[in-house]
Amino acid sequence: MDSRPPLGRRARALALVFSAVAGVASGAAARADDPPTSADAGAPDPGAAPVELDELVIRVPGAEATRDPTGAVTVVEAGRYAGEAKAVAELVATAPGVAVSAYGGLGQLSTVSIRGSSASGVLVLLDGLPLNTAFGGGVDLSTLPRQWIERIEVLRGAEGAHYGAGALGGVVNVVTRGGEPGGWSAEASGGSFGTAAASAEAAAGGERWTLFGAAGAERSDGDFTYRRRPQSSLPGSPYQTFTRENNGSARAGGIAKLTARLGERRLDALLQLSGGRRELAGWPGTDTPDDWQRDARALLSVRLSGAGPAPGLTLGARLTGRADLLDTRIGSLSGGDPVHQRGGAAGTEAEAVLLHPHGALRAALAAEGEALRADGLGDTRTRAQLSATLSEDARLAAGRVRLSPAVRAERVGPFDGVSAKLGGSVRVVGPLSARASAGRTFRAPGFAELYLQLGGALPNASLRPETGLSADAALVAEGARGMASVGGHATRYEDLIVYQASALGRMKPFNTGRAQVAGLEVEAATTPAPRLLGLSLGAAYTYLRTETLRGEAAEVGQDLPFRPRHRLFARAAIAPGPAEAHLEAHHVGAQWRDARNADRVPEALLWNAGASVRLARRAGLRLGLEARNLLDDRTLTDPIGNPLPGRMVMITLRAGSTPGDLTP
C-alpha cells in the first residue's frame, strides 16, 4: 500500500523501478455479480454429462477460473470489444471497484488496484496461473498479450481463501480462448504514433482432442507531443508544447493449448511465451533518452482430471512452471548498467470435488517452489509455498439460498497465515437477488521489501505480512434485457508496508501503515431494443473513500495516494445490420500523489469512439476504425505526472471463421 510523502527525483526513479521491475517480474453487456459456474468457465469438457443437483448444474472437473460462487465479480467479455485493439488494462478498467493506472502511455507500465489496495495486493492470473512473483509488487498488465483473450474475471474483496495469499483487494483472472477445430482468425491494425499490430490463431482437432495455437506482435514508436505548464505554481502561467521521446515499445507472444481425452480422464495443457522491450522516457524536465526495459515470460501448465473411486467424486492434479526475465536500465539508479532479474517457479496442486445432494465440497493441497536472482538482492533467493484449502458451495431452500464458506491455511516462506471467507446469496423475488460476504486474508512481504539494497533502497528482513479484513453486500437484478447491481463494501488494512526515510536519505520499508476503505459499486448493462439498431448500453461507477489511520500527523485522516474517489465508465453501442458504432466515456475523479494530500492530480474525462463494418460475411471480414482521446486533450497526465498521448486513431482489419467473426 503506497502511503508516503512526496518523492524527490532520485526517490521517484526508485519508485518507478520498484513498480516496473516488480510488475513485470512476474463487454459491458456481459457482467454479473454471480460468477460463472465451472461449465461457464471453460475448463470442463462441454460434451461431458452434467450432474444435476436440484437447480445446481456442475460439469466436472472444476474450473481453474472463478472459485468464489458468491463473491463480487464482473466478467468482461473480450468479444464485445472485438476489433477495437483494446489492451488488457483498458478491458479491466470497464469493471467497477478497480483503479487502473497507465504510466506513460502506449506499451508502458499499467497496474491495477482493487478496492483501495496497492497493486501488490491484487493477484493476477492467466488461465488460473498466478503471475505475481516472490519479488513483490503488482503485475504489469501491459505484458499480457491481448490478442487471444476470451474474457477477464475481476473479483473484488479479500479472496485469499480461494486464491491464496496476496489477494488483499481482489483477483484479476485473464482467460484465454480455446477455439473450435477448423476455426481460424487473423487481425492487423495500424495507426497513430507509429503503432502496428498483427495476430493470427487457428484450431485443429479430432473426436478426442483439440489443439489451439495463436501468435501476435505489436509495436509503437510512442513519441507524441503534449502540453504542460512548466511554471504551474504561478497562477495563469501559459501552457507550452513539448515532445515525449524515447517512449517506444515492442512485444510479441504465442500460446498453445491442448485438450485431450485419455480414456475416462481429461488432459489440459497450456504453454504461453511472451516478451518485449520498451523505452523509458523519464519525467517532464528529466528526460532519460538511454533508459529501457526488456522482459520475457514462459508459462506451462499440465492438468489431468477424471472421476474418482466414489460416486460424485472428481479428482484432479496439475503441474505448473513459470520462468521470468527482466532487465532494466535506469541510469540514475545503476550508473548506466542494467539491473538484471531472473526467476522461476514450479508447483503442483491436487484437488478433490465431491458432489452431494446440496452442492459441492472442494479440498485442495498445493506446493510451489520459487527461486529468484536479482541485482541488489545478494544471493539467489528461494521460497517455498504450501497451502491447504477447504471450501463448500451449498444450495439450500430448493436452490434459493446459496452458502459458500472457505478456509485456506498457508505458509509462504517463513510466514504463516490463515485466510477465510463466508459468502451467501438469496433469491429475493423474481429477478432480484441479494449477496453478501466477509473475509480475511494476508500478503507476505516480497523479496524486494525484505532484501533489496539498490540505489536509495534499504531492506528490512523483520517485516510482517500485511492483512486485510473486508465485507460487502449487493442487490442484483437480472432479466432478459440486462442486469443491474448496487453494492457497498468496507475493508480495513493492517500492518501495511510503507517506505519511509531512513539513514542518509535512503528509503526503508516498515509495517507502519494502517488504512480503512469503504465504497459503493454500481454497474448496469442492457439491450433495451435489440431490434432497434441493436442498441446496447452499459455503465460502471465506483465511489471509494480511503483514509490513512496511522502515520505522520499530517497524513492521518487523509486519502490514500493514487486512489480517486470517483470513477465512471459508460458505453453506448448500436449494431444495425453489418455495421457497428460505439461511444465511451471514462471519468476519473481527482486524486493525490502524496500521503499528506498536498499534490493533487486533477480529474480527467476521456472520450473514445469507434465504428466497424462487415465487408464479407463468408470470410468474416470486418474493417474497424477507433479513436481514443477523441477530443485530443494533450494536457492529460498519469498519476505520477507523466504526459499521456493525445488523440490516437487505429484502423483494424479482421477476418475469421469463428461465430464472433461471422455475425454482424
Name the average pLDDT for the chain.
86
Residue with cell string 481425452: 261
Please state the rounded mean pLDDT for residues 471-499.
95
Q: Is the pLDDT of residue 662 over 50?
A: no
> Distance between CA 251 and CA 249 in Å, rounded?
7
How far apart, in Å, are the Cα atoms of 134 and each of 26, 139, 380, 412? Answer: 8, 11, 12, 9
Q: What is the largest CA-CA distance in the chain?
A: 77
For residue 86, the model assigns a pLDDT of 86
- List CB contacts of 119: < 8 A, sequence separation 6 or more: 19, 23, 101, 111, 112, 113, 137, 138, 139
Please state the rounded mean pLDDT for residues 324-340.
83
For residue 455, the model assigns a pLDDT of 74
CATH of 9-201+243-662, one of 2.60.120.10, 3.10.20.30, 2.40.170.20, 2.60.40.10: 2.40.170.20
**pLDDT confidence bin for 429, thresholds 50/70/90:** very high
For residue 661, the model assigns a pLDDT of 54
First to last CA, the chain: 45
In the chain, what are the domain boundaries?
Answer: 9-201+243-662
> Distance between CA 197 and CA 249 in Å, rounded?
12
Burial bucket for residue 336 (CB in 10 Å: 0-12, 13-18, 19+):
exposed
For residue 456, the model assigns a pLDDT of 80
Q: Is the pLDDT of residue 533 over 60?
A: yes
Please state the rounded mean pLDDT for residues 338-363.
95
**pLDDT confidence bin for 151, thresholds 50/70/90:** very high
Please state the rounded mean pLDDT for residues 197-221.
95
- How many helices and strands, by DSSP H and E, does the chain display? 7, 37
Please state the rounded mean pLDDT for residues 111-115.
95
Q: Report which of residues 335 and 281 the model is more confident about.
A: 281
**Secondary structure of residue 21 in the 3-state scheme:** helix
Q: Model confidence over 234-264: pLDDT tens digits?
A: 777 889 999 999 999 999 999 999 999 999 9
Q: Model confidence over 398-414: pLDDT tens digits?
A: 889 999 999 999 999 99
pTM: 0.88
Q: Report which of residues 170 and 19 the model is more confident about.
A: 170
> Distance between CA 607 and CA 102 in Å, rounded?
16
The beta strands (E) that lie in 413-565 are given as 415-429, 432-443, 466-479, 482-501, 507-529, 535-550
**pLDDT confidence bin for 46, thresholds 50/70/90:** very low
For residue 401, the model assigns a pLDDT of 95
Lowest mean pLDDT among 89-98, 285-294, 361-370, 563-572: 285-294
**pLDDT confidence bin for 8, thresholds 50/70/90:** very low
